[in-house]
Structure 1
Amino acid sequence: MRFARFASPRLILPLAAPLLPACIARTAVDIVTLPVKAVGAGVDAVTTSQSEADEKRGREIRKQEERIGKARRKCDAARKRGEYDEKWCPIAAERVQY
């Protein structure tokens, strides 16, 4: 059985030599920039952007509107029955705070 002979290391090394410094340089850049990327990710996790704050406030307003709408429906139903619902009618009188 005959084994195929691959290119000798003496032929491959001169061809790969120009690529080696680029690889080492890229690794060095990755190592140097890693702490900066880690700090940036930490700052992003801790701070809130304006758009995120706006989205959060919008969710709060929608929840408040839903709660008041539910209270108004329950209060209206109680009034149709000739009753006053002490739990829901005071909430129904509230206004949405923007």
Structure 2
Amino acid sequence: MRILVLAIFALPLGGCISTAVDIVTLPVKAASKTVDVLTTSQSEADEKRGRALRKREECIGKEDRRASQRRREPDYSRCPEAR
């Protein structure tokens, strides 16, 4: 008899248990998402470094062309430093 009563009460509680698990894991998921957003992966850092280097090389090329047109020495201090 007890088993039948427990089985009857357990059926509606199945949804409550999964909801409780979702509520308990929500802060962990939120924290991991926050850490993921705030940190930079190695590939993202490499991409950013590559963009900075290409931008500097482009600026150096432009400065070389301007200097040769104006018959002067190039002034690379006009180009931002690649970090």
Question: TM-score when scaled to structure 1?
Answer: 0.62
2:20 to 12, 28, 34: 28
Instruction: Say whether residues 1:91 and 2:76 are aligned partners.
Output: yes
Structure 1 equivalent of residue 56 of structure 2 = 64
Identity rate, percent: 51
Q: Which has the higher helix share?
A: 2
Alpha-carbon separation, structure 1, partners of 2:53 and 2:42: 16
Gaps of 5+ in 2: 1-7
Based on CA coordinates, which of the two structures has the bigger radius of gyration? 1
Q: How many residues align?
A: 73
Higher relative contact order (CA 8 A, sep 6+): 2
* Matching residue's letter, 1:34: L
Aligned-pair CA distance for 1:97: 6.6
Question: TM-score when scaled to structure 2?
Answer: 0.72
Q: Aligned-pair RMSD on alpha carbons?
A: 2.7
Aligned-pair CA distance for 1:62: 0.9
Alpha-carbon separation, structure 2, partners of 1:37 and 1:74: 54
